[in-house]
Every structure is written in C-alpha cells, then in structure tokens.
Structure 1
C-alpha cells in the first residue's frame, strides 16, 4: 500500500473514532448563530465521508470497509454506546457512497466527491440518529446535513477547485518552474 494510502486510511479511521468520541462526550450541540443542532462529532463524520474517497482512490474499495472495521473496533473501546449505531450508519452510508462515487469518478473527482458526499451524509445522518437515539427533527437533521454535506464536503471541494483554477491561470514561469 502506498504511503498516501496508509495516511488516508489512518485519517479515515481517526475521523470515525473522533466523530463517535465527540458525540459520546458532548451529545448534541447548537450551531452558533443558527436554530440548528448537530451531534458534536458531525464535522469529524463529514470528514470521514470525504476521506473515504481518498482511501478508495489510494488503496481501493475493500480498504474502505477495513477502515470502518478499524473505526468500529476503536469506537467500541472509546464510545461503546455508539459503536453499533456508528458501524451500521457508516457501512450503509459508505456502501451507497461507493456506489455513487465509483462511476462518477471517471468524470472527475469534484463531481464524484460532491454527489457521493451528499448521499453519504444523508444516509449516515438518518441511520445514525435513529439508532443512537437522537431525535429526527428538522433542526437536528438539517444541522447534520449542513455540517457534513455543506461544511465538510462542499467547502473543501470548492477550495480544491479554486486552487486548481488559480494554478491553471498562473503562467508556469511566474511560479519559478
């Protein structure tokens, strides 16, 4: 496995564990300045959805599920009350995410990451909140989707696209190349 793959897999597992630990420790929190709620691990869970794509690209699809297994095992030690909810939610979300990401990846990373991240965020949110015993309210689901799909999927993709665009617009000789 390439070093980038090892790093992506480690980051993916860490994001899963962080999401569960934060949620176990702090529960639901209010988004500042909004009438929305999120579980405290929402941003880490959203990062896991994006990192899943990096794991698939660098290691292959089977390593995504190895990462979920690793995250589930560590979550069982750090946040046992959320281990089942997290594992079921990640397996379902990542299965759908992979089914969307893989065919779209041929047409570019950004489209694949955006669409699969939004699908993964929706499934992960509904399944996790239901199994973990959090209420399925408009404020809770809406906050989760803004956190996972908006801030952690859309924003990084837009930043990457902007950086790529700037890189194309600047002549190579002005970069010292």
Structure 2
C-alpha cells in the first residue's frame, strides 16, 4: 500500500475493522439475539417477515469488503475474504460454523468478482449490483447448509440484507464526494 494517501488508508482500515467485526457479530447474534426460530434466533425485517438475527450485520460485511477492495486493493480484499471465512468457522456452533464459513467464502467471492469490474464505472452501482448478487448466494447457501427451511426464512433473509445493501449503496454516493477514487489502473514500476 505504498503511496496510499491518508484518507484512502483511513477508509481501508475502517472498512477492514467493520468487516472483521461484522463477521464475528453476525455469528454471535445467530445464537444470542432475537426470538428462537428454526435453526437460529430471528429478528423482524419488515412486512411481517423474520430472518436469522445476523442478517443485518452479515450484509454490512459485503459493503465493508467493497471498501477494503476499493481503497486497499484486490489482494488485501482476497486476504480479508480468507480471514473472514476462517473467523466465520471459528465463532459459532459446529453446524452454523460450517454453514457460515462455506457461505462466506462463496458469497464474498461472488461479490468480489462482480465488484472489481463494476467499480470502474460507478461505485454506488458496483456496491448495489455486487451486493444484490452476493445476498442471494449468501442467503440460499447459508440457509441450506444450516438446515433452515428456505420457505420459512429466505424471503426475510433477502429483505433484511437488501435494506443494508440499499443503505450502503446510498452511503457510497456521499463517500465519493469526500474521498477521491483511487487509481484503478496498475502502477508502472519505478
């Protein structure tokens, strides 16, 4: 990260801290926050739907990783995905740990692959589009591996994560105004 300006470095560090914190918090919430539900504790997400309680925080991880990728680069983002998958597997029960770790690896990779080319055009659009794809992968894979019936939890899971992706995409509009976009082209060797 040689030559990174202070505002980009601050955003990269903040994104990494939120990213790691959201992974641990989402897994903890599944066991401790909300009403007992099928396979995990649940919270309301709107329109009479409920979702596993880590839903809001799990969606925040996608946005935080997008910031890490944008301001620290793809290599740091890939390292964060691997660390995040390992943390997911360590902070929960055996069933939820496997479901969380495997899901995290697949959904974050989906987000990473879509975000990388899209960010060149528009940061808010990249966050929104990559986030939408990732929440579908994340929700279907997690619920299936955790043994939580899709019919019971998928609509709420998608809605809860959608709210966070929508807010995160809107927040990046303001972020663009206060922080210049990093150069997205590889630097020439000096």
TM tier relative to shorter chain: 0.7 to 0.9
Q: What TM-score, normalized by structure 2, do the two folds share?
A: 0.76
Aligned length: 164
1:103 and 2:117 matched: yes
> Is the 1:47–1:153 Cα contact (8 Å) retained in structure 2?
yes
Report the CA distance between 1:69 and its aligned residue.
3.2
Distance 1:22 1:50 in 2: 19
Whole-Å Cα distance in 2 between the matches of residues 39 and 7 of structure 1? Answer: 26
- Structure 1: gaps (5+ residues): 168-177
Q: 2:21 — aligned with what?
A: 14
In the other structure, the counterpart of 1:67 is 80
**Matched ranges for 1:22-171 at <5 A:** 22-26=29-33, 27-31=40-44, 34-81=47-94, 82-137=96-151, 139-149=152-162, 151-161=163-173, 163=174
Compute the TM-score of the two structures, normalised by the length of structure 1. Answer: 0.81
Question: CA–CA distance in 1 between the matches of 2:91 and 2:116?
Answer: 32
Return the offset for 1:105: 0.8
SS in 2 for 1:134: coil
Gaps of 5+ in 2: 2-8, 34-39, 179-190
Q: Report SS of the residue matched to 1:31.
A: strand
Cα shift at 1:38? 0.6
Q: Secondary structure at the match of 1:29?
A: strand
More displaced, 55-64 or 67-76? 67-76
Higher helix share: 1
Could you say which residue in structure 1 is the equivalent of 2:5?
none
Contact 1:65 1:91 in 2 (8 A): no
Change (3 A) 1:23 1:65: farther
Post-superposition Cα deviations, 1:11-43, rounded to whole Å, max 9, x if no partner, equal: 101111111111133424241663312110000
- Per the TM alignment, residue 145 of structure 1 is displaced from its structure 2 partner at its CA by 1.0
RMSD of aligned C-alpha atoms?
Answer: 2.4
